[in-house]
Chain A
């Protein structure tokens, strides 16, 4: 984790936003944070720790109290920390819970703590928002939780000794996350959980056992209630023994009672039997007496029975006679009926014959009917023809009407079409006109256009001329001035020349001596030598200069003059052009009337023309369209005309045909008789006639049938009557015979006369009953006799005895037996219950023992795994596993410690257990090579312990990274502690730190120590002021 930039606002002593850009270090990996006391140095570390984890760097400062008291309420506290980790860049923003002014209204509202994490190399990715999520993500990114961070990356002020002097348990907590031994801790927890569960189970089982035993004791109804399973079991068993004896005794009692009962029972039985026999005897005797009384009546009954039986035997004969008589009666009745029938049949025959005769008489009528029918049938085809014609006529009339209508419609259409056609023609003609107009307009436009251009040109030229005029004036001026200057200069030149000459002359004059010839004229006398002019001496150069000036001015003048000439020429040209253009304009304008004044007016005219053109164009296109339509309309017109002709033809044709048909129809109709115009009516008539004929014929046939039937009936009935008469005579004879037989039999059987017989036969229905009664009586008599004999035998020697007394005694004995049995049962039941309970108790006892054994096992494991109980060395399982890593940590730490203390100290893990109750396994001892002995780490002095802590922190960082390459700890912050070191130790410490940063690790140190200030050249300077502190990098 490399810090990139830290921005704090209103945090601790910092009021305005402080930006600490670590890129100012420019590759330096060791920097010093320095400043006066209380300026806010530790606050910088606080800010980093707060940004990452939401906590401050040390334990003493509360995260929420970080807001700066200097800050005004509108300035919220916020920390923004940019850092890079494993090649990616992140930004954390955090704000604590704070009061800020309300958005609406006055006063302060509380704003909750916020945190968000931005991914700087993925600008599209949404930031992670929410304290919990951000904390989790940072913990997983860094691989360290806050506590580990404090031990390894940020060593806080005054607390650096923590890791060093922590006891085993605390160190275990710190190292657990780093080396991933959570599963060991989980195992310990799981075993403990199991132990607790089993303890509960044991407790429950023990309670259940006790409950069962109490139940057992209740069942026992024991007076004394001992405690303890064994004692109770023992009690139960002794009780069981006692009970067994008691039960045996009771069984004896029961057996004796049963015996007594048996004896008594036999006595009772015997008495009962005797009493019963005597009673039976008595009863038999009374019954016998009753029967004897009945005997006489029975005798008469027997005799009657005999008579009735005789009568019964005569029954069949009598029946025969009766039946014969019945038959005779029946036959008589039948004959009577038959004779009646015959009479009716005769009557019927008579009527039928009469009817038949009547119908036969009607024959000639029927014949006439037949003839009529034939005639009507002959008429049928003609009528059909007539109808057909009628139909045709009707059709044709309708067709004619329709055709006429069609013709009219067509005419109308045609007329309309013609109108349209004419209109179109008219429109088409206009086309030429429009075209002409267009052409004319085109010419006009052209002319206007040229006019406009010319006008514009002319105006342009006018302007030009004016301009040129001005130029001309200017050029004239210029030429004039040039000339003046030249003249002036020339004058000057002349003057100069004169002066020069004068001077020269003067010079020469000076040299003049009398008598010497003058160089100029040669005279020897010099009356008036030239004298020097006052003023400046003029020499050649001046003259020459002036000559040059004059020359240049002359040139200027020529230039001006030429310029003037040029302008003039241009002006002339422009004027000429102007004149030409106006001539052309006049030329162009003449064809236009009225001539437009200005270009604008001309343009307007042009626009109007264009508009007109457009209208004309539209009209033209309309005309063209009309032409096209004209062609189609022509075709349509032709078609319509043809159709019209056709319709009219049809009409004519029909009109010719129709009267002919009508004539035909009239002819036929005349031939038919009235009332028979339609074929269907005729057919009906025919049908009716035929039906009537058929009916009559049918009637005739029926009458014939009837007559025949009546005849046969009469004949049949006659035969029947005769037969019956014969039968009757027969039967009468038979009856007589039977009667005689019967009388004979009666006398045979002993009946004096019929009356006697009748009496007897009246009894016949009751025969069965009587027989039964007699039989019964006989049987009873026999039975009773036998019974009596038996009873006599049985009761020989019996005596009446008091049965009740005996029975009462028996009952007593039985009651006694029952109670004895009940007692026995109760005892048995109780024994069973006790046995049951006892079994349960014993069985449960072993279950409890098993539970205890399990518990003991698990408790042992749980305690041992936590470093307690049988664990002699007091090392928990997790610490056991961590010890391996710890060894490595110490080894790595020792490398540096040796350097810092010049080989004096080494740290070792303590192998023996701690004295007392404390846990052990991860304790550190220091080997002092001066004495060669180990001593606890707390005995180191302040400075020595700082070195040891530093070494330990660095060693821990090394091992963590070697074990899990994904955790990268390439930054370290150290807050104070160097002040406790003497100069030599300080050197050692500094060498160690320098070594660190050589491998790329960034180290930040807070310190006042002057040597550090000299050695380290990158400072983060913190200054305090009354209105808050400021921090900034200062690189020397």
Chain B
């Protein structure tokens, strides 16, 4: 049985106020061509289909076109789950209507968890769809007050499945932050699943599946041999500049052994980081034959004043996304924190620095807990909007 595993499409995302929709449309066309070549038995979409709970109309329309092409024209079933960026009820719409047409969506967790049954010559394969769910939701769903963390929630949900029958092959599609023994690469464009608490789930909770298709981390990587992150299709932040974006083509044989092969897709515009003095960068010799239309973040190494740097850069590189200057040796912004740190730190770290700076008192653990809880509530509210 052959799957194509992808996810984290984030349709409608704005990166530095630039809409990525045109690039997403381009790469999705490549993806559809890949599906056409590979002829898989199913496409697995592991969450974060949109970037917001209420996505813009053009993003929804693009998704509609792509899914219609995959399901109607190419006759390939699509199995999709909602991620932490998606609005779960919106993804869940029409679930029972669409599954008759080979488009299986799961926005909220519905018990009992019924798998999508696929089959090849070696026998049936049960594909379970487990969308991202906050531990509080799982607590209410199962009526179990002991579920506090993401790990508890995942274990409890997987515990509701019946034990596998001999010879049954099982596949899981889900969204979250899972860790095996190997270190994982995270990026700036991933919204954290919880603040302060632990959002990491150990890979041991996913025992019993022959392949687990994960989404959430944007870098294509593997957690264990059977558990992989497909990664996003495009680079969505400058921390992903060095990643090679791809989708995973998974071949599951009769014994349940999964062979994973990565297929790279060529984006319309790459995301790169360049640096140098302004005059050098504007010189044709500098960019040579690289694509000037790429999304660039530019680090200007000049010392002195530059007026309207972005206007000048735009005349050569029309899609400049951000311009940075080398930190110059001026007095630090605050006694403990420098300018660059303010821009790049996470909100809870910033608050700690802020508190200590403003009151001169230490930022106790109880205060930290209150702030983290407030941030988590905001994060959750954004999703449920």
Contacts and interface: CB of A to CB of B under 8 A. Distances in A.
Given A872-B360, A877-B351, A961 B310 contact: yes
Contact of B307 (A191, A875, A895, A962): A895
B51 to A, nearest CB: 14
Given A865-B351, A871-B358, A963 B322 contact: yes
Contact of B370 (A184, A857, A883, A1000): A857
A884 B342 contact: yes
Contacts of A970: 311
A175 interface: no
Q: Which of B17, B308, B347, B370 has the most CB of A within 10 A?
A: B308
A887 interface: yes
Contacts of B370: 191, 194, 857-858, 861
A999 B17 contact: no
A964 interface: yes
B323 A962 contact: yes
Nearest to A965: B321
Given A881-B342, A963-B322, A873 B358 contact: yes
A521 to B, nearest CB: 111
Interface in B294-327: 295, 305-312, 314-315, 318-324
B359 interface: yes
B310 A187 contact: no
A900 to B, nearest CB: 12
A1 interface: no
Nearest to B56: A140
A880 interface: yes
B169 to A, nearest CB: 44
Nearest to B364: A857
Contacts of A963: 16, 322
A966 interface: yes
A861 B359 CA distance: 10
Given A187-B347, A194-B370, A861-B371, A143 B17 contact: yes
Contact of B347 (A183, A965, A996): A183
Nearest to A958: B308
Given A963-B16, A964-B16, A187 B321 contact: no
Nearest to A190: B374
Contacts of A999: 308, 311-312, 315
B371 A864 contact: no
A892 B319 CA distance: 21
Given A962-B309, A963-B322, A965-B320, A187 B358 contact: no
Interface residues of B, number: 47
B308 A1001 contact: yes
Contacts of B378: 183, 186-187, 190
A967 interface: yes
Nearest to B17: A966
Contacts of A968: 314
A965 B315 contact: no
A873 B357 contact: yes
A1032 to B, nearest CB: 29
Contacts of B318: 87
A531 interface: no
Nearest to B345: A881
- Give the interface SS of chain A, mostly helix, strand, loop or mixed: helix
A485 B284 CA distance: 92
Nearest to B312: A999
B361 interface: yes
A896 interface: yes
A1000 B311 contact: yes
Contacts of A884: 333, 339, 342-343
Contacts of B375: 187, 190
A241 interface: no
Contacts of A109: none
Contacts of A194: 370, 374
A887 B358 CA distance: 18
Contacts of B339: 884, 887-888
A995 interface: yes
Contact of B17 (A887, A964, A996): A964
A870 interface: yes
A204 to B, nearest CB: 20
B113 interface: no
B366 interface: yes
B310 A965 contact: yes
B242 interface: no
Interface in B350-385: 350-351, 354-355, 357-361, 366-367, 370-371, 374-375, 377-378
B366 A857 contact: yes
A958 B309 contact: yes
A881 B350 contact: yes
Interface in A176-195: 183-184, 186-187, 190-191, 194
B217 to A, nearest CB: 22
A864 B311 contact: no
29 contacts: A183-B378, A184-B347, A187-B375, A190-B378, A194-B374, A860-B367, A861-B355, A861-B367, A864-B355, A871-B359, A877-B350, A880-B342, A881-B342, A883-B342, A894-B305, A895-B306, A898-B305, A958-B307, A958-B310, A964-B18, A965-B310, A965-B319, A965-B322, A965-B323, A966-B14, A966-B321, A970-B311, A996-B308, A999-B315
Give 7 nearest A-B pairs by CB, closest first.
A966-B17, A966-B18, A962-B323, A965-B321, A964-B17, A999-B311, A884-B342
Interface of B: 14-19, 295, 305-312, 314-315, 318-324, 333-334, 339, 342-343, 347, 350-351, 354-355, 357-361, 366-367, 370-371, 374-375, 377-378
Given A187-B375, A966-B321, 19 more contacts: A187-B378, A857-B366, A857-B367, A864-B355, A865-B354, A875-B358, A880-B342, A880-B358, A884-B339, A887-B333, A958-B309, A958-B310, A962-B310, A962-B323, A963-B16, A964-B322, A965-B321, A966-B17, A999-B315
